[in-house]
Amino acid sequence: MTATGKYLRIALGVAVIAALIIVPMNFNRYGLYILSQWAVMTIAAMGLNLTLGYAGQVSLAQGAFVGIGAYAAAIMTTQGMPLVAALAVAIVLCFAIGWILGYPALRVQHHYLAFVTLAFSTLAFLIFRNEDWLTKGIYGISNIPRPNVLGFATNRPLPFYYFCLGSLGIVSLAMWWLIRSPWGRAFVALRENPVRALSLGIDTRRYTLMAFAIGSALGGVAGTLYAPLTQYIDPVPFNLSLSLDLLMMVIVGGSGFFFGPFLGAMIAVLLPEWLRFTQGYYLMLYAVAVILLLIYSPTGILGILDRYLAERRTKAASALRAVAKSRLETAP
């Protein structure tokens, strides 16, 4: 990559971050709510992107992990405990459950694995709904407080949005570091060719479990933000459709691309809202848009960009080759 290209990318990144901070200052409560929702869903999708995009394990349980995180936050903060404690519990719990759920992934792959995680998703939903003593069942938990962060109350929509955005920032940095660490390389090796990874001395068993556990823990993090965002939770939002939604976000954005979940969550959260002016048709149009996108580019939005860049590189390379060849031919 050239130096200018690098600076351009940094400049673009800074501009996007600045826009995410400054532009919403004038937004109404609805706009801020939707943007906060985008940040929360992006975190959950990033977790799934790690499991699916980098380590290649199909999971239909990410929505359940968001639910576990949300219930941890709701139950603990309504009892007067701080959200940080709930966050810790959610991360540990989701990590542990994700680790255990990863065991079938050692034996089954692809759609068989999807079925195992689907069963877990249903199980989690039934626990949320039927264990009244803990989750208040179908009535749900209301009046979930929003946290004080470093002494600032986040009750108003704008501070809470910044809280979600800040959390997204921290998670993104951690993820950025993770996928560039030896772990991240090992995850990709696992996806591309497990046998070769094993022969290279990568403990595929441990890394498979790890990919599942970390991805699930991020689902839990998203959940602990979701509960104070809506301030009321019941089991319904955490059923299978959320897991499918998150899966779609990852695939539509571009599975295995770092920025895939950001774009995917944007499509899944914002596109239906933009299409609402079409009244009864908005969900249909949304579905059609997603289908068309995946027909055009099965690797998602970032897949289009990737294809374009690859083509440009190929063109540049063949141009260079042609020049070199003509030089050779014209050489005396």
Q: Tell me if 102 sits within 8 A of 209, measured CB to CB.
A: yes
Please identify, using beta-carbon distances, which residue of 108 and 236 lies nearer to other proteins: 236
- Least distance in angstroms from the C-beta of 132 to other proteins: 9
Gap between the Cα atoms of 300 and 245, Å rounded = 14
* Alpha carbon 115 to chain centroid, angstroms: 20
Task: Give me the half-sphere count of Cα atoms (radius 13 Å) on the Cβ side of residue 220.
Answer: 24
Q: Tell me if 215 sits within 8 A of 59, measured CB to CB.
A: yes
- Least distance in angstroms from the C-beta of 218 to other proteins: 19
- Least distance in angstroms from the C-beta of 273 to other proteins: 8
- Least distance in angstroms from the C-beta of 140 to other proteins: 5
Please identify, using beta-carbon distances, which residue of 5 and 280 lies nearer to other proteins: 280
Please identify, using beta-carbon distances, which residue of 128 and 262 lies nearer to other proteins: 128
Gap between the Cα atoms of 167 and 239, Å rounded = 24
Sequence length of the chain is: 332
Q: Reduce the DSSP state of residue 321 to 3 states and report it.
A: helix
Q: Tell me if 197 sits within 8 A of 67, measured CB to CB.
A: no
Q: Which residue has the tokens 């149009």?
A: 285
Gap between the Cα atoms of 74 and 143, Å rounded = 9
> Which DSSP string do the residues of 235-299 spell out, in sequence order?
SGGGSHHHHHHHHHHHHHH-TT-TTHHHHHHHHHHHHHHHGGGGGGGHHHHHHHHHHHHHHH-TT
- Least distance in angstroms from the C-beta of 119 to other proteins: 17
Please identify, using beta-carbon distances, which residue of 273 and 306 lies nearer to other proteins: 273
- Least distance in angstroms from the C-beta of 59 to other proteins: 22
Please identify, using beta-carbon distances, which residue of 67 and 264 lies nearer to other proteins: 67
Q: 233 phi and psi, to 5 degrees?
A: -130, 145
- Least distance in angstroms from the C-beta of 184 to other proteins: 32
- Least distance in angstroms from the C-beta of 223 to other proteins: 12
Please identify, using beta-carbon distances, which residue of 287 and 292 lies nearer to other proteins: 287
Please identify, using beta-carbon distances, which residue of 206 and 276 lies nearer to other proteins: 276
* Alpha carbon 210 to chain centroid, angstroms: 16
Please identify, using beta-carbon distances, which residue of 211 and 221 lies nearer to other proteins: 221
Binding site for other proteins (CB under 8 A): 28-30, 33-34, 37, 129-130, 137-140, 142, 226, 229-234, 236-237, 273, 276, 279-280, 282-283
